[in-house]
Structure 1
Amino acid sequence: MPLSLLKFPSWFLHALICAGFWLSAPLQAQTAVQTTAQKTAPIATQAPSLMLAHIWRNGLPLQDYWISEKLDGVRGYWNGLQLISRSGQVIAAPSWFTQGWPATPMGGELWAGRGQFSHAQSTTAQTQPSDAAWQRMQFMVFDLPAAPGSFDERLPLLKQTVAHINQTWVQMVAQQKLSSDAQLQTLLNQVVKAGGEGLMLHKGSAPYRSGRSDDLLKLKPFDDAEAKVIGYKSGRGQWQGMTGALIVQNPQGLQFALGSGLNAEQRKNPPPLGSWVTYRYQGLHEKSGLPRFARFMRMRDEPGFQPEAITR
């Protein structure tokens, strides 16, 4: 004890010690709360290096590719610790959804079924996960990004990994080989008629490489892209007093109107300014670069969504 304190009576020193305890208690409690919060907070991460798809072109060697359905969901990446989005945002899935998953990174689609994109999007966007909503979700795994070897060699390991997880909501995306363009077109028609979006073609000899290349291709009956809502056109006739069209701007800075595809509810309550929407189109005008026959499809609000510019 410092000599200066020995000059004070014992009762004063006792009171001083008690006061110090009670003053420090709130600080100790606050520190404990902060420590707990730090433990439970999502771990910040960076965007994963993903393999991205080009568009299928006739004349490519079909026999070199594995073919699967293009699932209309939200891209999910299991980094061995947590689910993250394409841009690296943490997806707040319930603990039971990922319990028992391996340290092996897995690439897949968070999918609620054909025609259920809006449910997948709203569920993965929640910061407080809903068990009821997530019980309708599946993680459809299509690759093991960190595994060595070609896709042909990764497929057996992918099958083993999903079988070892042994959860009904974790499934391997079915892959098949076809021998002719006629078979490919028949399968595309069957999938689209059943409510699917299209097909994915994965080159069997390809290692996992990030970026866009012919190692991964997509085939759909139409093109689609994203644009930001920057204004509205007033409706006429049956849409009087509602939204006639959305004024949108694509990532290349081109502006155009989206009127077709909006239903009555969307015309009464259109997507807000600044939101991103997906539209379908049939090629680009040669001179202006604007999409031909552009038609509204849906809003995009999944975690960390980043649009891509369309190209000729």
Structure 2
Amino acid sequence: MNAASRLGPARTHRTLILALLVAAVSGAAWADPHTPPAPAPMLALRYDAAIDPAQYWISEKLDGVRALWDGRQLRFRSGRPIVAPDWFVAGLPDTPLDGELWLGRQRFDELSGLIRRADPQHPGWRAVRYMVFDQPAGAGDFSARLQALQALVMAADRPWLQVVEQRRVTDRAALQRLLDDTVAGGGEGLMLHRADAHWQPGRSDALLKLTPWLDAEARVVGYIPGKGRLQGRVGALEVETDDGRRFRIGSGLTDALRNTPPAIGTLVTYRYRELTPGGQPRFPRYVRERTLP
């Protein structure tokens, strides 16, 4: 009996309807109209220091590409298919999985370039791992889903399919030590899955992220000319957020980016310390171009 059958007819119907509505709102493009789409993913809120971390499973926030397996096709969060080698997806479970395609710490740009090529024959795929951390619409709380996920991965017996390591901490001090160790080793931060939370799409305190900085996205709308040694090159990007706030990002731009900056209209990720009283990000720093769907 699969997870959906154990939920009962009424609850199964509600779960399916919810998944269809969320997928429709997000604009997901599913290849087979006769196959119900995999449920939309859970999305993280930011961890608040008032929250007791002992209630959560803790894992590293991987610097990879979010990938959802719907039982047939590997997809971006938007629902668009990921062009992956046949051997990579062969033998994956026939149930939905949520995870990250990952090459390792601080190798996002390399991974992004590989996926953008859409070349399943590229030898770079041999180093990619699919690091899974949840079962979309899976039965039970996260602890139960984690146990089921470990069994699925073990049965699949594919070396590139792995479960993201999860651990527990006793208090906030232990959580901070784990964050410090992770960041010192080149990691981005931590993810917290509430142990007793049932799966649900969208943002909630069932999934939290903890990093030493804040991050967001904005669209490039112009360029600020450089001065001094940057004469003749881009000094800063002028960007705009979805809610209309405009500001400049100069920190984090390499010489190569100043010579050939992201095109107008490109979505970029930036990091910042906090928001000013006027709602502007303080000390924004360029991270990367958001080139993937």
What range is the shorter-chain TM-score in? Answer: 0.7 to 0.9
Which of the residues 43, 62, 74 maps onto 2:31? Answer: 43
Please tell me the residue identity of whatever aligns with 1:58: A
- Give the deviation of 1:130 after TM superposition: 4.0
1:114 corresponds to: 105
1:12 corresponds to: none
Distance 2:39 2:197 in 1: 19
Q: Call closer, same or farther: CA 1:238–1:67 in 2, change over 3 Å.
A: same
Alignment of 1:141-156 (within 5 A): 141-156=132-147
- Give the deviation of 1:259 after TM superposition: 0.6
1:34 corresponds to: none
Distance 2:242 2:125 in 1: 32
Which of the residues 150, 160, 176 maps onto 2:167? Answer: 176
Residue ranges of structure 2 left out of the alignment (5+ in a row): 1-29
| Secondary structure of the structure 1 residue equivalent to 2:204 | strand
Please tell me the residue identity of whatever aligns with 1:204: A
| Secondary structure of the structure 1 residue equivalent to 2:93 | coil
Q: Call closer, same or farther: CA 1:149–1:250 in 2, change over 3 Å.
A: same
| Secondary structure of the structure 2 residue equivalent to 1:179 | coil
2:95 corresponds to: 104
2:264 corresponds to: 273
Contact 2:39–2:136 (Cα < 8 Å) also in 1: no
- Give the deviation of 1:220 after TM superposition: 0.1
Alignment of 1:211-222 (within 5 A): 211-222=202-213
Which of the residues 281, 294, 297 maps onto 2:287? Answer: 297
Distance 1:47 1:259 in 2: 40
Distance 2:215 2:51 in 1: 22
Distance 1:50 1:127 in 2: 23
Q: Call closer, same or farther: CA 1:176–1:270 in 2, change over 3 Å.
A: same
| Secondary structure of the structure 2 residue equivalent to 1:214 | strand
Distance 2:251 2:145 in 1: 43
Alignment of 1:1-312 (within 5 A): 43=31, 48-287=39-278, 289-302=279-292, 304=293
More divergent stretch after superposition (212-221 vs 146-155): 146-155
- Give the deviation of 1:145 after TM superposition: 1.2
Please tell me the residue identity of whatever aligns with 1:259: G
- Give the deviation of 1:128 after TM superposition: 2.9
| Secondary structure of the structure 2 residue equivalent to 1:135 | helix
Residue ranges of structure 1 left out of the alignment (5+ in a row): 1-41, 305-312
Distance 1:229 1:261 in 2: 15
| Secondary structure of the structure 2 residue equivalent to 1:157 | helix
Contact 1:232–1:246 (Cα < 8 Å) also in 2: yes
2:13 corresponds to: none
Encode CA deviations 1:240-282: one digit per residue, 9 max, x unaligned. 1111011111111111111111011111111111111111011
- Give the deviation of 1:146 after TM superposition: 2.9
Encode CA deviations 1:178-237: one digit per residue, 9 max, x unaligned. 001111111101111111000001001001100101011100000011111111111111
Q: CA RMSD for the aligned pairs?
A: 1.4
| Secondary structure of the structure 1 residue equivalent to 2:120 | coil
Distance 1:300 1:202 in 2: 25
Distance 1:294 1:47 in 2: 36
| Secondary structure of the structure 1 residue equivalent to 2:127 | coil
Contact 1:73–1:109 (Cα < 8 Å) also in 2: yes
Distance 1:163 1:101 in 2: 11
Contact 1:84–1:91 (Cα < 8 Å) also in 2: yes
| Secondary structure of the structure 1 residue equivalent to 2:199 | coil
User: Percent of aligned pairs with the same residue?
Assistant: 46
Contact 1:91–1:125 (Cα < 8 Å) also in 2: no
Q: Which runs of 4+ in 1 moved over 3 A?
A: 44-48
